[in-house]
Structure 1
Amino acid sequence: MYEQYHRWYSHRIGREFEMLTFGYGGFPIIAYPTSMGKYYQNKDFHLIDSIAWFINNGKVKVYCPDSIDNDSFYNKGIHPAHKIMNHVIYDDLILNEVVYRAMHETGFGKVAMVGCSFGGYHALNFSFRHPDKVAYMFSLGGAFDISSFMWGYHDDNVYFNNPVEYMPNLGEGWYLDNIRRMGIILATGDQDICKEDNYRMSGILHSKGINHWLDVRWGAQGIHDWPAWRAMLPDYVSQIRW
């Protein structure tokens, strides 16, 4: 499998940022790590190996950016206002330094967003905030309510990055039209600690007339762990129309 390591200075976060990419070309997939995970996590836990056929046959190119969760949601040493502002900066970095790069390198006008566990939050929230840039969104074992990280604090940045808040209030118009065009999969399992979060989000999407697939796995694939996600992801990548 063709793999490249990328490192550059990001003025948005004021330090160097790292990323791995896999493949020569194909439809671009942005794959977030899990909570506080590094850019190599999806490789180390063999999530990338699970879709090797699609990568090696030029169907997809996968971009695995670093996270800055330690500076945002999981940083207990700063005020929640600073937590969410750091996340807003990260969202801007992913859009302008990763997504636009992926579209330029592959020649596609949109990307797919993928994430497991808290990476599922990142994938879904980014997709719904920038629906004109995203054709597919696959959340595997995701959870979508960030209020527990905010310790009771609330502002516009919290609201507009908390999908369980802003999605129920989303009116007809540009955002909703673009989200309705998206291929959306919410993946969970009967033993997944985030199962209820996925049922809740599925209900919100239904209420807005947003087609999606709530895929609930059972048995060995029903857990909140890498073996289940490795089994799920090839099924979802096969839905991409390249």
Structure 2
Amino acid sequence: MPSRYDINHFSNHLWRDMNIRVYGTKGWPLLVFPTQDAMCDNYENFGMIDELSEFIDNGQFQLFCVDTVDQESWSDNYGDKFLRAERQENYYRYITEEVVPLIHEHNHSDWRPLTTGCSMGATHAAIVFLRRPDLFEGVIGFSGCYDAHYFFGAWMNNTLYDNSPATFMPNLAPDHPYIRLFNQRCIVFCVGQGAWEDEGIRTQRILDESFRAKGIAAWCDFWGFDVNHDWPWWKKMYQYFLPHVLNHCRVHGLEA
């Protein structure tokens, strides 16, 4: 198990204590979002930290694993939709305005973090990266659902729109300044075509089509029909894609 420690702090955006579990002591920072409703120990509990230990122990990546408030936003099926959307927006602001500065402080570098996650974690990773490519170096998302309608039904307001990549990316203006930034970043999305991947396939295709239409260089990969929405496959995806991401990091300043 790689070295680890916890950052415990009070969030002014979420009005509660939050936790960040840090693995490793140096390397390009990875902002890790857990699966739905899970917390900062999610990757460790499912063996992902052990799977990635070589990258961590070699000082190639330092992982910053955050808590979620999914039970008050995406998962609160019977809650008030306006309040649920507002809670997600507060979480987005918590990440961009509170977590990112903490990552820079503890990583001791000016490298922009990469965002990553599996399932709902990939959803969060996509939201924060696609809204703020100026803050993040890239995104690695596996088996995410990128359409807020899947969680909220037909309801939509401006706040939820901003947290629905499959909704806002097709509407991105062709001359938007973020397109230039996206093409300087590392964008990786992958989904299997096996069990429980239907929404991941559908919504990743929307992103893929949007990237292509706007000339954004992104790697959107669709794996085989035996590839299910589950941890054993996400571990294989990380082993496959992280060397590609590491090459991007080396070009942008990491000596590993």
Normalising by the residue count of structure 2, what TM-score does the alignment of the two structures yield?
0.89
Equivalent in the alignment of 2:98: 97
Q: Deviations over 1:107-154 (max 9, x none)?
A: 033110001011111101110111111112111111100113224322
Pairing 1:51-70 to 2, within 5 Å after superposition:
51-70=52-71
- Over 3 Å counting, the alpha-carbon distance change for 1:21 and 1:203 in structure 2 is same
Secondary structure of the structure 2 residue equivalent to 1:113: strand
Secondary structure of the structure 2 residue equivalent to 1:58: coil
Does 2:232 match 1:227?
yes
Consecutive aligned runs of 4 or more in structure 1 exceeding 3 Å deviation:
none
Q: Deviations over 1:1-33 (max 9, x none)?
A: 111122111121111111211000110000101
Equivalent in the alignment of 2:132: 130
Structure 1 contact 50–231 (Cα < 8 Å) conserved: no
Equivalent in the alignment of 2:184: 181
- Distance, in Å, in 2 between the alignment partners of 1:73 and 1:190 is 24
Q: Which runs of 5+ in 1 are unaligned?
A: none
Equivalent in the alignment of 1:159: 161
Equivalent in the alignment of 2:217: 211
AA paired with 2:216?
Answer: I
Q: Decide which moves more: 44-53 or 232-241.
A: 232-241
Q: Deviations over 1:26-47 (max 9, x none)?
A: 1000010111111111111111
Structure 1 contact 9–15 (Cα < 8 Å) conserved: yes
Q: Decide which moves more: 74-83 or 226-235.
A: 74-83
Q: 2:241 aligns with which of 231, 236, 239?
A: 236
Structure 2 contact 117–140 (Cα < 8 Å) conserved: yes
- Distance, in Å, in 1 between the alignment partners of 2:46 and 2:114 is 20
Structure 1 contact 81–153 (Cα < 8 Å) conserved: no
Q: Deviations over 1:39-75 (max 9, x none)?
A: 1111111112221111101111000000100111111
Does 2:40 match 1:39?
yes
The Cα shift of 1:203 comes to: 1.1
- Distance, in Å, in 2 between the alignment partners of 1:179 and 1:96 is 20
Q: 1:201 aligns with which of 176, 190, 207?
A: 207
Q: Deviations over 1:174-202 (max 9, x none)?
A: 22221222211111112133222222221
Structure 1 contact 109–133 (Cα < 8 Å) conserved: no
Secondary structure of the structure 1 residue equivalent to 2:171: coil
Q: Which runs of 5+ in 2 are unaligned?
A: none
Structure 2 contact 193–228 (Cα < 8 Å) conserved: yes
- Distance, in Å, in 2 between the alignment partners of 1:138 and 1:54 is 15
Q: Deviations over 1:194-236 (max 9, x none)?
A: 222222221111111111112222365x111000001111222
Structure 2 contact 166–203 (Cα < 8 Å) conserved: no
Q: How many residues align?
A: 241
